[in-house]
Structure 1
Amino acid sequence: MKRSTEEIIEAIGGKENVSAATHCVTRLRLALHDESKVNKEMLEEIDVVKGAFSTNGQYQIVIGNGTVNKVYKDFVALTGVGEASKDEVKKAAESNMNALQRAIKTLADIFIPILPAIVTAGLLMGINNLLTNPGIFYSNASVVYMHPQFGDISSIINLIANTAFVFLPGLIGWSAVKRFGGSELLGIVLGLMLVHPDLLNAWGYAEAQEQGAVGTWNLFGFEIEKVGYQGQVLPVLVAAYLLAKVEQFLAKRVPDSIHLLIVPPVTLLLTGFITFAAIGPITFTVGNFLTSGFVSIFEAVPVLGGLIYGGFYSPLVITGMHHTFLAVDLQLIASIGGTFLWPMVALSNIAQGSAAFAMMVATKDEKLKGLALTSSISAWLGITEPAMFGVNLRYRYPFIAAMIGSAIAGIVITLAGVYAPSIGVGGLPAFFSIPTTFWGNFFIGMGIVLIVPFIITLIIAKVKDKK
């Protein structure tokens, strides 16, 4: 193992090129001084290396579960960089990023920690749909209708599933304030404050406004509507930034002896007043405007929308920009009851898996065959990094084949109006999060991304093999 680690160090430009290093479950995560010094071909020839890529200012080397711990231990000993936390490596990597990359990374840092809760909620909502929707297991009835004893089970599943979406501002508030350098506890309180039961539910705002039933506060002659922000993203993001900055400002000026009595109450009060008076109404309007824009584009030119988003989602993953669309998905779900973007994400993941699987069938290289098989299964279950960076991008044409298949499927399901009321597992299990009325069209799209990338990749691989 030590010899392989020495080869990795040589391939990345020597120990002098390493600024900081850490690791996750499968990958060595490095902040390098100069990524142009990396010899990627040499790196990918090393036995323990299953792929390598650069993202968000970090150079990540895919090694595998368990093995990465041993490599990292040797890496630290050989380079002398010292063990670093993921946050330390992220900070070191930020020096290599421009303003847009830092903005994208900020959104990623906020949404990635809460993604497991959202995906789990989507999967559970899908299971509840299987129990409550008619026409799945019985021609004109649901499982709950035919078997009433499952009614309470379905009700509990639905409650658990909806919790993450009902209290979404609380999750975002925690993660955003943490990212902006404030108190995570105050972030949670801020988010929950925006969905307090005393406030008008955001989903009933339009109807209440028509009926003139929106309650108000009267503050010094100003009327502020008592409206909640259930499912909203922008209000809590902006409010979280303000809260963190107010808290930091006060913390530097208030003595420690009275910190608890002054900083948290003043921070929450000031942020709360500004949020309900200005941030909430403004960002709510902006969010609805952006949502209307997306919907209008896809309604006006569905073929173009499906082609672009379905085909080019994978390149967005390379740049890290795909994380920004999670906020768009959540905003669409809150505004119109579902997202037409996420189903294309699920199909894009499957397409990458199909292309990698074709490489497994075509190649005679045993190492590549094993990597392609495991990474294709991973992609079909929603984790595309091993397939994309370990196989498809290395040979390019499988990646392009996956984009073609995903673009065609994106057009098909967009024309059919397929949407998801929640975000679930972005692979083969994705149909659980799709309303049953759209299963037929979604399965057609799934068939396209399973077959088209596989056939294109296999044909090109065979042609190249004959040369």
Structure 2
Amino acid sequence: MAVDYNKDAQAIKHAVGGKDNVTRMFHCATRLRFYPKNKNLVDEDALNNIDIVKGVNWQGAQLQVIIGNDVGDIYDALCKIGMPNDDTDSNENAPAVNTDENLWNRIIDAITGCMTPLIPALTASGMIKVVLTLLTTFHVVSQASMSYQIVSLIGDACFYFLPVLISVNAAKVFHVDHSLAMIIACIFESPVFIKLVTGKAPVALFGIPIFKYDYTYSVIPIILMVWLMSYITKFVKKITPEILKIIMEPTLIILISAPLALIVVGPIGGWLGNGLGTIVNFLSAKLGFILVGLLAGLFPFIVITGMHHTLTPIGLNAVATGGDTLIWVSQVCSNVAEGAATLAVALKTKDKKMKTLASAAGISALLGITEPALYGVTLKLKKPLYAACIGAAIGGVFGGLLQVTMYIPQNCLLAIPAFIGKKGMMNLAYGCIMILISFVATFIITLIFGFEDNDREGNKPAVAAAGAGNAAVNTTSTTSTSSQAKISDVKLVKPTTIDSPVSGKVESITDVPDDIFAKKMMGDGVAINPEDDKVYAPMNGTIVKVADTLHAITFLTDQGTQLIIHIGLDTVNLKGQYFTSHVKDGQHVNKGDLLLDFDSKNIKRAGYNMIIPIVVLNTNDYDKIEPQNLGSEIEHGSKILELS
């Protein structure tokens, strides 16, 4: 069944508070990343209950919506409906690093913004190097052949020119002209400069010595330099006459930045990178079995915080300087363990939806994409997450004890050829055993620990929580246990009718100026332009949920029809002001009982549309839903829907 990305994109847009509440949106391999202006307008319940969303996580001011393998498609759909993104917003209007956050969060945000867009390139290049390793291991090609040289060139290009690739993303993060940032990176990578720094003669600029450092494969120097360029750019803009800006601005920025990059910033970044590499190698050599096991076991929590991207430069530097024994090794153990725990859930669960999700997410985790498994399965069920941490730690301890080394940056089952290198075939054997231990230990521990199957029938209640976001978009939001029991206890009666809870003019649901309702994303129904300020029970039934902000009521009729009565559009933002509820959750009411009062005059003055959508949430339970009295002025209690 094809996924309706446009429908999901609309739901996500409303749940994050609309496009006007987002300053910037981008994505990595599995997550949509938003910077909302107002966190209070983000409805996490609504997000969590959109089918394509696997989970929600905050990292400082950044909202992360975990999607999985469909993230590129849903991102494109969001861009098409006008969500702010890197391709449409100017640097001034799309801040990528929130300056209100503390320094540590800002550093993480910056590194994440620089590195995550490179994941596809790094993955592709790593896989090509894996293929090349296999070709030479099985003697399909020799290292002296021209074919080997060409394939090696293809696989190595991304890593060799890493500063250039990073400069583009860093320019977005720090609001620097992309072409100017790339020029500095190209200076670092220039064959002439590389020849100078690898030669014997000293290198100097107007008598000022330049530290000899090869910036190919490097990460930190270019990030530091583009960050500094953001301040240089602001300074140059202040001092440049308006009439000469087009010529002087870029020229001055490069003339100031290039010498600073070569003489000061580049060497500092290089020393930092080498220092980190030295520290990691020392710790890995002295405490390998402890450190690798600890990092592998904690990696899911590092992923949750988003800090795993800060480890990527260290891992890349280790690979470039002889092989990694910590960062990529621990990631392999963790990702394999996450896949094993999720597949164990798929095997054991009786929840059909969870079984489908866990099966797909488990395979995805084994191939290096763990967020669907982490947020969609193990974190929700908790015990499988603990099992994955323990299993990964056991595998990591084994790898640390035997100093398992990876020569290609890879983080999944496909990393097996990455163990082939200077240490010979025993390293490959130890690496394979490490992966096997991580998988088997986790799988068994997950089965032993068990987990709570929340819904053994695999049927998720269709009733929406009335406390949904701007448009109550979470059509499958969980309700209280008692409310779920009431829903399942009520037998569906067909045919049936629904009467109006308010007096006013009946309108088609498609005329509501909100796509969530107009496109029937929540279900079919009608809308009422109210004549008075009271909401009554449309039929005999039960109050499933009164929104915390009182702007909506979820209602279950005694005939099994599940309704949401949504008073006005975007009125969730009023936070209960101008609303008075006369009922409580779980209360049984009779047709005509007063449920809620609202002050339409003040709500309209506050700028809100007062139209009241009345939606059948379990629309799929009916063959036909026919509006009644369209265009007519009616009193509450008049028929508005026939369901059969």
Q: Which residue of 1 aligns with 2:531?
A: none
Q: Secondary structure at the match of 1:112?
A: helix
Once the two structures are TM-superposed, the CA of residue 372 in structure 1 deviates from its matched residue by 0.8
The whole-number CA distance in structure 2 between the counterparts of 1:35 and 1:394 is 23
Once the two structures are TM-superposed, the CA of residue 258 in structure 1 deviates from its matched residue by 3.1
Q: Which residue of 2 aligns with 1:431?
A: 416
Q: Which residue of 2 aligns with 1:144?
A: 141
Q: Which residue of 1 aligns with 2:436?
A: 447
Q: Secondary structure at the match of 2:214?
A: coil
Q: Which residue of 1 aligns with 2:124?
A: 120
Among candidates 83, 100, 106, match of residue 102 of structure 1: 106
The whole-number CA distance in structure 2 between the counterparts of 1:261 and 1:431 is 53
The whole-number CA distance in structure 2 between the counterparts of 1:285 and 1:28 is 34
Q: Secondary structure at the match of 1:53?
A: strand
The whole-number CA distance in structure 1 between the counterparts of 2:243 and 2:180 is 19
The structure whose residues are more often helix, as a share, is 1
Among candidates 245, 256, 264, match of residue 259 of structure 1: 245
Aligned ranges 1:5-404 → 2 under 5 Å: 19-20=21-22, 31=36, 33-34=38-39, 40=45, 44=48, 50-62=54-66, 65=70, 83-85=83-85, 91=95, 94=98, 97-133=101-137, 137=138, 142-145=139-142, 151-200=145-194, 214-255=200-241, 257-338=243-324, 340-404=326-390
Label 1:200 to 1:35 Cα distance change in 2 as closer, same or farther (>3 A). same
Once the two structures are TM-superposed, the CA of residue 287 in structure 1 deviates from its matched residue by 2.3
Higher radius of gyration, 1 or 2: 2
Q: Which residue of 2 aligns with 1:208?
A: none
Label 1:295 to 1:50 Cα distance change in 2 as closer, same or farther (>3 A). closer
The whole-number CA distance in structure 2 between the counterparts of 1:336 and 1:214 is 24
Q: Which residue of 2 aligns with 1:79?
A: none
Percent identity for Structure 1 against Structure 2: 29
Once the two structures are TM-superposed, the CA of residue 336 in structure 1 deviates from its matched residue by 3.9
Q: Secondary structure at the match of 1:54?
A: strand
The whole-number CA distance in structure 2 between the counterparts of 1:361 and 1:130 is 33
The whole-number CA distance in structure 2 between the counterparts of 1:34 and 1:362 is 38
Could you list the runs of 5+ residues in structure 1 that have no partner in the other structure? 77-81, 206-212
Once the two structures are TM-superposed, the CA of residue 121 in structure 1 deviates from its matched residue by 1.5
Give the aligned residue type for 2:84.
Answer: A
1:294-324 Cα deviation digits (max 9, x unpaired): 1111111112111221111111000001010
Give the aligned residue type for 1:181.
Answer: H
Label 1:37 to 1:258 Cα distance change in 2 as closer, same or farther (>3 A). closer
TM-score relative to the length of structure 2: 0.60
CA contact (8 A) 1:380 1:428 kept: yes
TM-score relative to the length of structure 1: 0.80
Q: Secondary structure at the match of 2:264?
A: helix
Give the aligned residue type for 2:366.
Answer: W
1:416-455 Cα deviation digits (max 9, x unpaired): 222223313x221122333253221111111112211111
The whole-number CA distance in structure 1 between the counterparts of 2:18 and 2:262 is 52
Label 1:280 to 1:454 Cα distance change in 2 as closer, same or farther (>3 A). same
Give the aligned residue type for 1:377.
Answer: I
Relative contact order, CA 8 A, sep 6+: which one is greater? 1
Could you list the runs of 5+ residues in structure 2 that have no partner in the other structure? 455-644
Once the two structures are TM-superposed, the CA of residue 190 in structure 1 deviates from its matched residue by 0.9
Give the aligned residue type for 1:297.
Answer: L
Once the two structures are TM-superposed, the CA of residue 278 in structure 1 deviates from its matched residue by 2.0
Q: Aligned residues, how many?
A: 437
Superposed CA RMSD: 3.8
CA contact (8 A) 1:50 1:371 kept: no
The whole-number CA distance in structure 1 between the counterparts of 2:76 and 2:206 is 64
CA contact (8 A) 2:293 2:330 kept: no
Once the two structures are TM-superposed, the CA of residue 456 in structure 1 deviates from its matched residue by 1.2
